[in-house]
Structure 1
Amino acid sequence: MLVRVDKEADAIYLELSNEPIESSEEVSDEVILDYTADGRMVGIEILQASQKSHADTP
């Protein structure tokens, strides 16, 4: 698994597999799941990540 953080876009992407993404589905407000052609999940994108975190950040 690979975790990518884009501070400028305020987004986090959890890459579960490097397989090609065939479709995406927004499952809740600003949380998007990416799937292969046969329906396996390959990634999770969280937008506005800093607003969804409970961690204290400097």
Structure 2
Amino acid sequence: MKITYDPDVDVLRIIFSNTPIEESDEDNPGIILHYDEAGNIVGLEIIDASKRMDNPRSVEYSISGR
């Protein structure tokens, strides 16, 4: 998984897989989902990220144990 934020265009991108994108759909305004050939989500983009979250430049990652 790769997460990037571009402050010049205020877009946060989350890439789940390096599989080629076959189709994209703006499910909700400002949220673009990217799909592979089989219809699986391989990434998403959040437009105007700084207006939708507290700090798009900060990422918290955690793994829940059993």
Query: Is the structural similarity TM-score above 0.5?
Result: yes
Q: C-alpha separation between the residues in 1 aligned to 2:12 and 2:54?
A: 15
1:15 match: 15
Q: TM-score, normalised by structure 1?
A: 0.90
Q: C-alpha separation between the residues in 2 aligned to 1:19 and 1:38?
A: 10
Q: Which has the higher contact order (CA 8 A, sep 6+)?
A: 1
Question: How do 1:16-55 residues align onto structure 2 when only pairs under 5 Å count?
Answer: 16-55=16-55
Gaps of 5+ in 1: none
| Aligned AA (1:11) | V
Residue 45 of structure 1 and its aligned partner are, at CA, apart by 0.3
Gaps of 5+ in 2: 56-66
Q: C-alpha separation between the residues in 1 aligned to 2:54 and 2:7?
A: 16
Q: CA RMSD, aligned part only?
A: 1.4
Which structure: larger Rg?
2
Residue 53 of structure 1 and its aligned partner are, at CA, apart by 1.1
Q: TM-score, normalised by structure 2?
A: 0.79
More strand as a share of residues = 1
Identical-pair percentage: 36
Q: C-alpha separation between the residues in 2 aligned to 1:33 and 1:44?
A: 4
Structure 1 residue runs of 4+, over 3 Å off?
none
1:4-48 per-position Cα deviation (integer Å, ceiling 9, x unaligned): 110000000000000000000101111000000110110010000
